Structure 1
Amino acid sequence: MCKKINLIGIACLMFFTCYAQHQSNNYQIAPIHMQSRWANEVSPENALKEYPRPQLKRNNWLNLNGLWDYTITDSTTTFPNKFDGKILVPYPIESALSGVQKPLLPEQRLWYKKDIKRPQIKTSDRILLNFGAVDWQATIYLNGKLVGEHSGGYQSFSFDVTDFLKPGNNDLWVKVYDPTDQGPNPHGKQVLHPANIYYTPSSGIWQTVWLETVPATRINHLKVTPDIDKSVLNVNINTIGNTDNTILEVIASANGKIISTGRKSIKGNDHSAIVNIPNVRLWSPDDPFLYDLTIRILKNNKPIDEIKSYFGMRKIAIQKDEKGTDRIFLNNKYTYNLGILDQGFWPEGLYTAPTDEALAFDIKSIKSLGFNTIRKHIKIEPERWYYHADKIGILVWQDFVNPSQDLRAGSKPAFEKEVQETMEQLHNHPSIVTWVLFNERWGSYDQQRLTEWVKKNDSSRIVNGHSGELLYVDNQLREPADNPWVSSDMTDVHSYPEPRLAPPKPNQARVLGEFGGVGVPVPGHEWDDMQGWGYVQVTPAELKVKYAHMMQELKELEKAGLSASIYTQPFDVEGEENGLLTYDRAIIKIPVNELRMLNRPFVSQTNGFNLDSSFSIAANMNLNDNDNRYDELMNEYNNGKRDSALLRRLILISIRKKDQVKTTKFSNDYADLLTTPFSKENLSFLSKTMFTSKDKGFELFLKNQQKVDEVLGPTTAIRNLTKIIEAEEITPLYTSKIPPDWDTVISKLKNKYGDLGEEFAYGSAMIYSGFGPEPKDWKNYGKYYVLYFEKALDHPLYHINNITWPLFEHVEDPKVLTFAAQVMKYALANWYQGDPEACDTYANLLHKLKQSGEAIKWEEKALQMKKGAPDEKIYADALQKMKSGLPTWPQNN
């Protein structure tokens, strides 16, 4: 069995030192170097005050957004007896807008508490407690009593809390568990240690919380599906309560005038109606017309419940054009989907937009640039985002949030549960025309079954069963695929940076699910100026030329059969600097009118695309503010200027120019300016500008490892320090013709760097023995494996499974093998739950130690998790050997 070796990986997030403050009622935005224009509008009094559910709207509601008490505890705490401070709901605890900006680790729990008053209600009324979304698992208590629990970081949920509330004040508690990328939960692009295309997590309450007074007999759920070919709207309504002797009334209106009314006697809780829509006005990006919908339950001819909603009449399908080519048709007309890949992140709010205006801005700006499609990438937005998409008029390809990529235990049922709930929650939005099941094989499984399941659940949309199942980078295919796009409505490739055409398949449209990714940093508008990333970097002046060339290529591909393309991306996001606008939405990299002109060959930009003269997208980028200013900035430095902004620019340019001497000089000058070196922003900066053991940051990290880890996260200090120790002390050993004297190396590193140096030397000796020059020294590999993991088991620099597999294959010493089995057992309990490769390694170690009964149990677990995978047979063969008492390790040692 071949296993990939992944050694030291270092990823740290760096911020500028700059503060944006907003105080109100003891609230203050946490320190942040970058914010959008809407951040200062946020306060406890107006935090996302709009009604959050436009598709099922009632008037009698109370917004609970605002300041709550919060604390972070370990996982065993029943109820905390003190709080750390105030948090602004509904902004994630990691965000600046929350006022907290702290990480939530998998072994921790986040607690919220708010005093709420019981609304005055009629005897027959009920009180619902509604949550837009909580990431990931929420447990709700009222006055110390358990109300209920919900899992799913993107779906709304409600509890009837009438019987839990007492007159006057009530204590509402919410406990949150969010393992981010360490659990079975769908988490999108959130990871605990962000780097490049992954971003800061958003834990806890991140959408609106509200109370709602409702009648006991009420409308609970609404599902509307347009049929433009029959000029009707199919309506399905679920009710709660006793509907005996009641009438259901459905009223459709256009521009304030009733166009259709229907009444029917009802009984039970599931009801359907067909609403005729005369002289249908179709919904499209050219004319995003929405009808109003009112639904009432009447008793004795009086309404006992009423909700407001809306709908759009539109149809999406794969049909053949006049040449017989399968294409995407909107309302029975071929419509090229000119799209853009929208991640939905904000510098100050992460998953949560600062205001409702900001939420709408992204859609307005994208459409103003001439795009008619947004691919909402691996995130489910608040319902108001889709409401704005419906009103503004943009086609939406909605990604489902992928399961954990290693498909650990529990991932599949969690994924399918959330997909089902997502389809139910978002069904009524006409803007959503495509469901995207999987992205680039992230956690993909049972593709045919799941694609067909989604299509059966919602026949009103087309399904992209696997976007980017074939991924090309620099015209090279990453990995082939067996039976790609099975049962899908599209064949979809990703190609970076240049566009390309997906292969033809009968009755499937050919689309380009992602392309572009052209990186252009904008000084002063970067989330992390030390980490900017794109599939290809160009200068500001080159970007428009590059984009224009890509649009010309796309036009040729369209002639050959391409129906859609998704450009990466509208906005920079954290370490990604490949947006058309900066992350703070302040600078646009190609002027608006020029972008519109380049997009016009694909989208006619009729009245629906007219620019609003009062709508300002962003300022144009300064094409001359680039690395050519090095000499100019150096003159300012030589004349005595030493402010932090100048030094950062000089550091960045000197790094790109590989001017190490000046980089060290500028970095140390910058370190001298720091008045709060242990802030997250400053420690992050020091971590990115440490290149030698003589740098000031190196000394600070070495002497304050625990403090650094408390601020930046576990193992941050050791990873940054060992990167430099490796470069200076270990790498030269590989170029020597004489094998290292590891006892001398270990003694030297312990004297210079203390326990850290000794520990790293053990690890380096292990790696050299097993992965260094021939011949391999497996005896020493086992020896140093033991010495290293005796010290570093809870904070390893190496992927334990990848380091342990070769030991299993080549080491015979029972004591070493027993120790390795204990290491794998610890790793399985703490990091690799549900990892089939780790289960397999542990099983093989047990088998080699003649504990074959236990080995077989673990190998059966591994095989079960590998069902349907290309390498399933490898695991099946190993299991058979274990059952037959045969060796599973090489016999030529």
Structure 2
Amino acid sequence: MRFLAPLVTFLLPTVALAAVTGSSNTDKRATAGYVLKKGPLDTPWTEKVGTDPWPEYPRPQLQRSDWLNLNGVWQYQNATANETNSPPFGTDLKQSVLVPYCLESALSGVMGSRMIWSWYRTTFDVPSNWTRNNRVILNFGAVDYEATVFVNGRKAGFNRGGYWAFNIDITDFLHSQGKNELLVFVYDPTDMGNIQIPLGKQVLEPSHIFYTPCSGIWQTVWIESAPRNHVTQLDVSADMHGEVNVTVHITGNVSIPVEIVIHEANSPDSIKHTATGTTGAAFQFSVAKPDLWSPSSPTLYNITVKAGSDKVQSYTGFRTISRGVIDGVKRPLLNGEFVFLFGTLDQGYWPDGLYTPPSREAMIYDLKALKNVGYNMLRKHIKVETALFYQACDQLGLMVIQDMPSLRPSVPVSPPTPGCNVDSVPVGNVSAQNEFDRQLAILIEQHKSYPSIVTWIIYNEGWGQETKREYPEFRLTSMIRSLDPTRLVDSVTGWNDHGAGDFHDNHHYSSPQCGTPFYSIASTPYDPSRIAIQGEFGGIGHNLTIANMWNVQKSINQINNTYEIDADLTIWNRRAHSILGELQEQIELYACSGAVWTQTTDVEGEVNGMLSYDRRINRMDLDMWRSDIQGLYDAAAARSGNSTTKVPRAEGLAMGLMSGVE
């Protein structure tokens, strides 16, 4: 029987950033051809998306008041390799596409395959009430993988990397009156041939734990008005002692005065502290007696930044992430105390939008499902999310262990190497490694101000990890620490561990081996000089009816590759109880400091989620999971001298979740 979860509007804890409004202004001539496709599976939010998706201001840590959302129905057509030499200016394209959904998704209205080269087109007006002397900035949340941007017949900019925000000053390309034409040429090779790029789990031929790719524009597109000298990036870190470190980056590399206002947490219109500095250089100041951010009390403070004539809104949370020795064991510390890190492997895939959730409401549903049973963390698995995702984690009090999107596990050798049993190498060439390094730095720079992120991961299970020319994780760990000294680094999660970073990270299905005196093949013996974490475990599965599964025969055929399949939900929960009991024992007896259960939801050919892929079934016996997870925290508290802390459930969530019954 198919159950539909009630669609409840959830209220997050207040981080009352300045009210910002925007409206869609895409070319309505292009709307006639858009039709929502019938994909292999939908969600309760699919039919609610409409043609003005993701209307929220997309960059909560650097908000401006004058902006215009360009999401909606654009024109699209398939392309070939060299078409940037002859863009289709002034020409209607063949199809319609709903931005910002991957071209392979049902919500895009295209639902194509092998979308290697593509054209997007729309037109827009610049609002007449925007300040005449300001600049107009075109922003993209993310485009996978390369984007060449044209405005009114001229090339305006280029970006490489499928997970990163970028912007272009398009002022000099705009018409003084009337509509402006925007064309975007996208190249996304995914894993074509022997190409090696950061791509996570995307493959052109999906198979079991590798999924349908996401090509093209998959995060919000918007324009905004900003002064000629405007803030381009705002780096803020605030620690448990009230020490705040700020760098305000501005166009033109000019040095001008900056005013920072920290507002009271529970009274956003009241001022808690004001400080001054200059752009382009870090400056520090102290805030007296801040309320600290933690999973049990995710307090956030609004910030107003004024630099010259530019004014932006942001926020921060006061907390300190560190490592220390407690009773002879290396531990992760939050605000000076050992907090056991327990979360899920969060892959962030959706059957209707693939990389893009159908809506913010849908995205938050997943997070609240985790918070509701007591998870205090998630591991964002070889994918990077929208800025609104990290804001939601900040607001809810979910710590994030953030992966760098991996290179392919291997690439073909061309020509094949004589005498080699496996014709593949981890990293095809030095340029692939250099590009990985460049994009890893972008990950850190663009996300280092989110309070919820506590740890960076460089390599997952050796995927794309060089081991012959060098062990790059050592220098990359040093690079991360130079860019962001405020967090821990899990250099290698799984295997190919050579001793870098803050964690000794074991993967083992189904049972854990976390800081224990026993381990299995591909792992390494526990290293007491680092923090012990179970980077992946669990993975037990439970089959559903086709109504709640990815209805693709190849995926269905591969479900039996799941680490363990349990006959029904009673057995699934009983097995989870047993495995979580093993983990609790390893906390009590050994050196276990954190663990990552696989996983938040089912994905295509996998059926081992807390939730089904369509989010209509919640497998968890909620009372059992709450009790077992609290048991982990209690065991950790007993090893640390701390009083046990209960992580509060998300407000009002229980009404929006299914009980674990089919």
Q: Same fold (TM over 0.5)?
A: yes
User: Which residue matches 1:143?
Assistant: 152
Cα deviation code 1:328-375 (max 9, x no counterpart): 111110110011100000010000000011111111111112111100
Aligned residue type for 1:263:
T
Cα gap change, 1:440 to 1:115, in 2 (>3 Å): same
2: distance between equivalents of 1:607 and 1:508?
27
2: distance between equivalents of 1:400 and 1:67?
31
Shift of the alpha carbon at 1:242? 8.4
Shift of the alpha carbon at 1:417? 1.3
Q: Which has the higher contact order (CA 8 A, sep 6+)?
A: 2
Does the aligned pair in 2 maintain the 1:371–1:603 contact within 8 Å? no
User: Which residue matches 1:487?
Assistant: 500
Counterpart selection for 2:247 from 206, 214, 236: 236
User: Which residue matches 2:69?
Assistant: 63
User: Which residue matches 2:343?
Assistant: 339
Cα gap change, 1:313 to 1:272, in 2 (>3 Å): same
Runs of 4+ in 1 over 4 A off after TM superposition: 241-244, 604-608
Cα deviation code 1:162-189 (max 9, x no counterpart): 0001021111000000001122321100
- The answer to whether the aligner puts 1:453 opposite 2:479 as a matched pair is yes
List aligned pairs for 1:89-108, cutoff 5 A: 89-106=99-116
Which SS does the other structure have where 1:271 is aligned? coil
User: Which residue matches 1:848?
Assistant: none
Cα gap change, 1:611 to 1:223, in 2 (>3 Å): closer
Counterpart selection for 1:207 from 204, 212, 219: 219
Cα gap change, 1:204 to 1:171, in 2 (>3 Å): same
2: distance between equivalents of 1:152 and 1:223?
21
Does the aligned pair in 2 maintain the 1:585–1:618 contact within 8 Å? no
Structure 1 portions without partners, runs of 5+: 1-23, 299-303, 470-480, 624-893
User: Which residue matches 2:458?
Assistant: 437
Counterpart selection for 2:558 from 496, 515, 531: 531
Counterpart selection for 1:588 from 618, 622, 625: 618
Does the aligned pair in 2 maintain the 1:290–1:311 contact within 8 Å? yes
Counterpart selection for 2:292 from 282, 291, 301: 282
- The answer to whether the aligner puts 1:186 opposite 2:198 as a matched pair is yes
Which SS does the other structure have where 1:74 is aligned? coil
Aligned residue type for 1:537:
I
Does the aligned pair in 2 maintain the 1:184–1:414 contact within 8 Å? no
User: Which residue matches 2:519?
Assistant: none
Shift of the alpha carbon at 1:25? 5.5
Which SS does the other structure have where 1:401 is aligned? coil
User: Which residue matches 1:320?
Assistant: 325
User: Which residue matches 2:534?
Assistant: 512
Which SS does the other structure have where 1:115 is aligned? strand
Cα gap change, 1:448 to 1:607, in 2 (>3 Å): closer
Does the aligned pair in 2 maintain the 1:403–1:412 contact within 8 Å? no
2: distance between equivalents of 1:570 and 1:499?
18
List aligned pairs for 1:312-391, cutoff 5 A: 312-321=317-326, 323-391=327-395
Does the aligned pair in 1 maintain the 2:368–2:650 contact within 8 Å? no
Does the aligned pair in 1 maintain the 2:630–2:646 contact within 8 Å? no
Does the aligned pair in 1 maintain the 2:253–2:280 contact within 8 Å? no
Cα deviation code 1:661-686 (max 9, x no counterpart): xxxxxxxxxxxxxxxxxxxxxxxxxx
Shift of the alpha carbon at 1:611? 4.6
User: Which residue matches 2:448?
Assistant: 427
List aligned pairs for 1:722-871, cutoff 5 A: none
Does the aligned pair in 1 maintain the 2:340–2:594 contact within 8 Å? yes
Which SS does the other structure have where 2:297 is aligned? coil
Q: Percent identity?
A: 35
2: distance between equivalents of 1:611 and 1:114?
40
Counterpart selection for 2:434 from 413, 417, 422: 413
1: distance between equivalents of 2:115 and 2:303?
44
Aligned residue type for 2:385:
E
User: Which residue matches 1:852?
Assistant: none
Cα deviation code 1:748-776 (max 9, x no counterpart): xxxxxxxxxxxxxxxxxxxxxxxxxxxxx
List aligned pairs for 1:12-161, cutoff 5 A: 26-45=33-52, 47-77=53-83, 78-80=86-88, 83-106=93-116, 109-120=117-128, 121-161=130-170
Cα deviation code 1:83-110 (max 9, x no counterpart): 221000000010000011011344xx11
Aligned residue type for 2:558:
Q
Aligned residue type for 1:517:
G
Which SS does the other structure have where 1:597 is aligned? helix
2: distance between equivalents of 1:607 and 1:489?
26
Aligned residue type for 1:72:
N
Pick the structure with greater CA Rg: 1
1: distance between equivalents of 2:223 and 2:181?
14
Does the aligned pair in 1 maintain the 2:372–2:654 contact within 8 Å? no
List aligned pairs for 1:623-638, cutoff 5 A: none
- The answer to whether the aligner puts 1:558 opposite 2:578 as a matched pair is no
Aligned residue type for 1:209:
V
User: Which residue matches 1:252?
Assistant: 262
Shift of the alpha carbon at 1:621? 4.3
Aligned residue type for 2:43:
S
2: distance between equivalents of 1:592 and 1:606?
19
Structure 2 portions without partners, runs of 5+: 1-30, 411-426, 467-471, 516-524, 635-643
Shift of the alpha carbon at 1:486? 2.1
Q: Which piece of structure 1 moves more, 128-137 or 453-462?
A: 453-462
1: distance between equivalents of 2:79 and 2:384?
28
1: distance between equivalents of 2:301 and 2:627?
32
RMSD across aligned positions (CA): 1.9
Cα gap change, 1:607 to 1:493, in 2 (>3 Å): closer
Does the aligned pair in 2 maintain the 1:25–1:44 contact within 8 Å? no
Cα deviation code 1:440-465 (max 9, x no counterpart): 00011212221222222211000001
Does the aligned pair in 1 maintain the 2:234–2:246 contact within 8 Å? yes
Does the aligned pair in 2 maintain the 1:71–1:82 contact within 8 Å? no
Return the TM-score normalized by structure 2. 0.84
Which SS does the other structure have where 1:43 is aligned? coil
Shift of the alpha carbon at 1:122? 3.2
Does the aligned pair in 1 maintain the 2:539–2:597 contact within 8 Å? yes
Structure (1 or 2) with the greater helix fraction: 1
2: distance between equivalents of 1:526 and 1:551?
26
User: Which residue matches 1:301?
Assistant: none
Shift of the alpha carbon at 1:40? 1.5
Cα gap change, 1:335 to 1:29, in 2 (>3 Å): same
2: distance between equivalents of 1:600 and 1:401?
31
1: distance between equivalents of 2:147 and 2:49?
25
Q: Which piece of structure 1 moves more, 31-40 or 500-509?
A: 500-509
Cα deviation code 1:17-56 (max 9, x no counterpart): xxxxxxx8553210124211111110113x0000000000
Structure (1 or 2) with the greater strand fraction: 2
1: distance between equivalents of 2:281 and 2:260?
11
Does the aligned pair in 1 maintain the 2:396–2:650 contact within 8 Å? no
Cα gap change, 1:581 to 1:214, in 2 (>3 Å): same
